[in-house]
Structure 1
Amino acid sequence: MKKFPLLLCLVYMITTSFYPASSENFSHPTVSVKEIKLSPKKNFSPQNPAEEIYKELQFTDEKLNFEVFEKAFLGFQNLKKSRKLVPSAKLLSICDFSLSSNRKRLWVIDLDEKKVLFNTLVAHGKGTGEEFATNFSNTEDSHQSSLGFYITEQAYNGDNGYSMRLFGMDKGYNDAALERCIVMHGANYVSEDFIRSEKRLGRSWGCPAVSREMAQPIIDTIKNQTCLFIYYPDQNYLASSEWLKNAEKTDPILGSPKQNMATN
């Protein structure tokens, strides 16, 4: 008979060993999930090179909007990948035509040195707007500015003095620049004196005109195959420009970047 209670105890111990733990003690899986929770994705992706460069830039007059710089930098990189620019290209010029023409809205940036080389006034076309740019065109005699990416060409002396030809890279938006004689040049109406007199900057016939005194130093710096981006928040343009696509264009057969060089 003494063995019977012993047997009952043994059975009790075996059966109760399979009971679930209490809710308090069963919280370990939840704690584990919290511990292995990933940080936001941006902390695990490579550093944004546009952001790294932008942080180093010293803006003394007007500060360039980061979103504009980021778009310009993306296009610059895509132009290099497509071999429209030489691999060693490092200069990026940006006109932000969303700003008042009374502000210094042209920046020339050395991306390697992370340095702003120039920040100055720049005119838009008389058909584009008064103080503010609103309308853009790729059409002859529209006297309007054209949006998009350009590759700078050679300098020359013309009717407007020291000037620089521009090759438009966005089909339907600025690829008629050479035919329209859209160039960078100096102009007397691009000055602080003109702004004080007329309450706005003077206007060109579609060219990104700068002041007479700044024309030669800027042109000599950015001529011969550097990148110029004329920005305006036109959603049709921003959505359609091939240079603002994040995915790299590849050859469907070779799987490598297309090598269709721009011709002068």
Structure 2
Amino acid sequence: MKKPVKKLIKYTLAAGLFAGILFTIAPTEGSKTKTIPLAEKRFSNKDALFALLKLDSLGLSKEAFNYALSGLEKLEKEGKLKNPDLLTIADFSQPSNKKRLFVIDLKNETVLFNTFVSHGRNSGTAVATSFSNAPESFKSSLGFYVTGDTYKGQHGYSLRLQGEEQGINDNAMSRGIVMHSAAYVSEQIAKLQGYIGRSLGCPAIPEKIHRQIIEVIKNGSCLFLYSPDKSYMANSKILAADKDTTVA
């Protein structure tokens, strides 16, 4: 009879110790260990992050940055992003002879790339002013995209893009809108003619660093093509909730 009693005591002590561990680890009601969504912690002060990254000196529109963060947060909450720590912005409010593509590591608060990016040939010459979701329009489509997988096509190593805004850029896949490299996207050409070459609607990037950029942002990160275009601003459902925070 002694052995069963010893075993019982042993098991009781073990159970009590385990329960004590659980009690210690588990947050109590009203405690300060309440989980805060990642997006809310990251974007609680957009102005401070903008200043920390020195994006103003790099030429990025503050309005573009704020809208980009808001859209990324929405896509993250909807579970559409596999990598919400990366944000890529093409600021089409800037002329194409400016380095208007920004790849930002939000987790480590670092600008990974700042380089040139093209717009569609029918969107404008130096500045993109006209946009379309229509096939064969040869225009850029504004708005939010989620990066897809990579492939080797006509322009070499390329990145598929999924448009997330209905009626604005959701024809991206069927139009063949991807990120790829192009010889006409270079600083030399920008200096020679005042603007870089234009694509058929794709955000084309420089040949020298296209592979590095695509490798970083592929498979589920957020890409935002921005312009203060009145039609886009009026029809974007992703930005609808954030329009009252627009920076003047």
- For normalisation by structure 2, the TM-score amounts to 0.77
Q: Deviations over 1:109-155 (max 9, x none)?
A: 01111111100000001011111111100011111000000000011
Counterparts of 2:59 and 2:193, CA distance in 1: 25
Counterparts of 2:231 and 2:189, CA distance in 1: 33
- Partner of residue 53 from structure 1, selected from 49, 52, 71: 49
- Partner of residue 112 from structure 2, selected from 110, 117, 140: 117
Superposition deviation, residue 193 in structure 1: 1.6
Q: What is the letter of the counterpart of residue 94 of structure 1? A: I
The question of 1:227 aligning with 2:222 is answered yes
Superposition deviation, residue 78 in structure 1: 0.5
Which residue in the other structure is 1:107 paired with?
Answer: 102
Counterparts of 1:120 and 1:101, CA distance in 2: 10
Which residue in the other structure is 1:69 paired with?
Answer: 65
Q: More helix per residue: 1 or 2?
A: 2
The question of 1:82 aligning with 2:82 is answered no
Counterparts of 2:153 and 2:92, CA distance in 1: 25
- Partner of residue 198 from structure 1, selected from 193, 203, 222: 193
Superposition deviation, residue 239 in structure 1: 2.8
CA contact (8 A) 1:62 1:103 kept: no
Q: What is the letter of the counterpart of residue 52 of structure 2? A: E
Superposition deviation, residue 156 in structure 1: 1.1
- Partner of residue 211 from structure 2, selected from 213, 216, 219: 216
Q: Structure 2 vs 1, CA of residues 167 and 142 (structure 1 numbering), >3 Å: closer, same or farther? A: same
Superposition deviation, residue 61 in structure 1: 6.5
Count of residue pairs the alignment pairs up: 201
- Misfit runs of 4+, over 6 Å: none
- Residue ranges of structure 1 left out of the alignment (5+ in a row): 1-45, 248-264
Which residue in the other structure is 2:175 paired with?
Answer: 180
Q: What is the letter of the counterpart of residue 146 of structure 1? A: S
Q: Deviations over 1:31-57 (max 9, x none)?
A: xxxxxxxxxxxxxxx984322321221
Counterparts of 2:46 and 2:146, CA distance in 1: 20
Q: What is the letter of the counterpart of residue 49 of structure 1? A: N
Superposition deviation, residue 244 in structure 1: 1.2
Counterparts of 1:178 and 1:150, CA distance in 2: 11
Superposition deviation, residue 235 in structure 1: 2.1
Which residue in the other structure is 1:150 paired with?
Answer: 145
CA contact (8 A) 2:56 2:62 kept: no
Root mean square deviation, CA, Å = 1.8
Superposition deviation, residue 60 in structure 1: 9.4
Q: Structure 2 vs 1, CA of residues 236 and 60 (structure 1 numbering), >3 Å: closer, same or farther? A: closer
The answer to which of 197-206 and 115-124 deviates more is 197-206
CA contact (8 A) 1:54 1:114 kept: no
CA contact (8 A) 1:61 1:104 kept: no
Which residue in the other structure is 1:33 paired with?
Answer: none
Secondary structure at the aligned position of 2:48 is classed as helix
Q: Structure 2 vs 1, CA of residues 160 and 83 (structure 1 numbering), >3 Å: closer, same or farther? A: same
CA contact (8 A) 2:53 2:110 kept: yes
Counterparts of 1:48 and 1:65, CA distance in 2: 19
* Percent of aligned pairs sharing the same letter: 45
Q: Structure 2 vs 1, CA of residues 180 and 89 (structure 1 numbering), >3 Å: closer, same or farther? A: same
Superposition deviation, residue 234 in structure 1: 1.3
The question of 1:136 aligning with 2:131 is answered yes
Counterparts of 1:66 and 1:132, CA distance in 2: 18
Counterparts of 1:225 and 1:111, CA distance in 2: 15
Counterparts of 1:103 and 1:55, CA distance in 2: 20
Which protein is bigger by CA-based radius of gyration? 1
- Residue ranges of structure 2 left out of the alignment (5+ in a row): 1-40, 243-248
The answer to which of 135-144 and 190-199 deviates more is 190-199
Counterparts of 1:168 and 1:191, CA distance in 2: 26
CA contact (8 A) 1:61 1:119 kept: no
